[in-house]
């Protein structure tokens, strides 16, 4: 037996057959498409899984299913051949897939479902491959005679809005997950408030949050995909911060604005990394490696190796490479004399001279250089001198005025009416 010995199948059988009193397992034997717990079990334990009266030679399923997931460094060719497909079939299936989806765009963790069909009494061959590049899109490659053909299906979902609110007991991240928010929606929420909120110091037990956002959902009401946050608020120690997404009618940039029409965008982000914890502040400290007191000219955020690091603001890459005790290091030049630096990276994602946008991934957390563990060392420079990132006041963005502010107020009133008329979603109605 070759190829798919030990393959775990997706369908578990155990119901009775329709109207005959026979088990679903017995019924499946008579079908052209036979499904079993594992192919290995058919070979080693046919008497346990199937009735004694049946011919053991007929028990091998006509087709078996296997699910694989893309791991770092994997190629689709390697995944298919490791799963049991012949190299020629693997190459033909990949070539067919390229008509609908670029295999190079496979992401780590992407799940692929493979179907193998019984070719003769002793072997199986690749019959079908399917994957979902996005929640609404499925790409399928199926064998037709000795070749493969690709098709894609686009699922249509209902569109609407939803509201989630909750109380913070330990962290905004955990409170958001408990309230039913996806990790992607949480990242968007944190990014919106990251200009004005120090998540390490200002968020306290009992604080609250509210999010009003676009969503796509299936006929059962389950959220399949979340869209833009339309409005959000955080109440911190009794002080409410409320922001609205708004596209100015005069052609200005869409942004989040306070009720008074002030853009929340600042020249620089206070925290250029999502979900990290502050592990060391700015100022004098005993260096954990050198063992004597020295000035710590930035702040440290502890995070797992590989966590993405964002550009704190629009700018140009001045340095991207190894920098002594800083390890892998990037320094950006922003406008008005501001600069930022990022150290101890595991990998750098930009090059010197490159222009970057605020929020763009410039590298990944590591522990290179003089470092006792994985973290980001982050510096803010004003006219070339390091300053405390948690204390500097960054320039603000646009302030709406005149007729544009009047249009904005009408828009805010409309969003508030929709928000107040939308019930809070429950965990059962949110995406996994």
Q: Which pLDDT does position 370 carry in this prediction?
A: 84
Residue 348 has pLDDT above 80, yes or no: yes
* Reported confidence tier of residue 212, pLDDT bands at 50, 70, 90: very high
pLDDT of 30 reads 32
Question: Is pLDDT of 422 > 60?
Answer: yes
Confidence of residue 2 (pLDDT cuts 50, 70, 90): very low
- Kindly tell me the sign of the dihedral angle through the C-alpha atoms of 322, 324, 329, 331: negative
**The pLDDT value given to residue 291:** 52
pLDDT tens, position by position, 246-274? 999 888 888 999 999 999 887 787 778 87
| 95-127 residues labelled b (16+ CB within 10 A) or e (exposed) | ebbeeebeeeebeeebebbbbbebeeeeebbbb
CB 84 within 8 A of CB 3: yes
Exposed, middle or buried by CB within 10 Å (0-12, 13-18, 19+), for 373? Answer: exposed
Segment 126-178, tens digit of pLDDT = 999 999 988 888 999 999 988 999 999 888 888 999 999 999 988 888 888 88
What domains, with CATH codes, occur in the chain? 24-154 (3.10.450.350), 158-265+422-429 (3.10.450.350), 277-387 (2.70.70.10)
Q: What is the pLDDT of residue 179?
A: 87
Cα 109-327-198 angle, rounded to 5 deg: 70
* Neighbour tally for 340: CB within 10 Å: 23
pLDDT at 158: 87
Encode pLDDT of 62-100 as tens digits: 777 888 888 888 889 988 988 888 999 999 999 999 989
pLDDT at 331 over 80: yes
């Amino acid at each position: 037996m070759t190829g798919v010995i030990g393959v775990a199948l997706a369908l578990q059988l155990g119901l009775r057959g329709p109207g005959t009193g026979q088990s679903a397992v017995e019924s499946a034997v008579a079908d052209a498409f036979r499904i079993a717990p594992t192919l290995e079990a058919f070979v080693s334990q046919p008497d346990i899984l199937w009735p004694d009266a049946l011919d053991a030679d007929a028990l091998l399923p006509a087709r078996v299913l296997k699910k694989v997931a893309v791991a770092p460094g994997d190629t689709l060719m390697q995944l298919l051949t490791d799963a049991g497909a012949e190299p020629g079939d693997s190459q033909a299936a990949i070539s067919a897939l390229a008509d609908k989806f670029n295999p190079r765009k496979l992401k780590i963790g992407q799940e692929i479902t493979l179907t193998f069909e019984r070719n003769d009494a002793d072997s199986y061959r690749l019959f079908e491959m399917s994957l979902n590049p996005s929640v609404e899109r499925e790409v399928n490659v199926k064998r037709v005679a000795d070749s493969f053909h690709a098709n894609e299906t686009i699922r249509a979902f209902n569109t609407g809005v939803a509201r989630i609110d909750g109380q913070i007991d330990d962290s905004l991240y955990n409170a958001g997950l408990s309230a039913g928010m996806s990790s992607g929606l949480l990242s968007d929420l944190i990014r919106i408030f990251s200009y004005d909120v120090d998540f390490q110091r200002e968020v306290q037990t009992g604080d609250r949050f509210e999010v009003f956002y676009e969503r796509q959902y299936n006929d059962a009401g389950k959220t399949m995909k979340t869209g833009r946050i339309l409005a959000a608020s955080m109440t911190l120690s009794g002080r409410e911060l409320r922001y609205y997404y708004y596209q100015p009618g005069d052609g200005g940039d869409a942004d989040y604005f306070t009720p008074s029409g002030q853009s929340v965008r600042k020249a620089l982000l206070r925290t250029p990394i999502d979900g990290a914890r502050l592990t060391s502040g700015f100022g004098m400290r005993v260096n954990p490696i050198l063992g004597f007191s020295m000035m710590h000219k930035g702040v440290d955020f502890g995070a797992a190796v590989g966590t993405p690091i964002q550009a704190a603001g629009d700018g140009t890459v001045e340095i991207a490479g190894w920098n002594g005790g800083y390890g892998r290091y990037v320094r950006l030049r922003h406008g008005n004399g501001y600069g930022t630096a990022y150290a101890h990276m595991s990998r750098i994602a930009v090059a010197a001279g490159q222009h970057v946008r605020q929020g763009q991934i410039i590298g990944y957390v590591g522990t290179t250089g003089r470092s006792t563990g994985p973290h980001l060392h982050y510096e803010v420079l004003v006219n070339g001198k390091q300053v405390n990132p948690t204390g500097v006041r960054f320039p603000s963005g646009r302030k709406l005025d005149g007729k544009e502010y009047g249009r904005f107020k009408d828009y805010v009133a409309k969003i508030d009416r929709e928000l107040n008329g939308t019930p809070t979603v429950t965990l059962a109605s949110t995406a996994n």
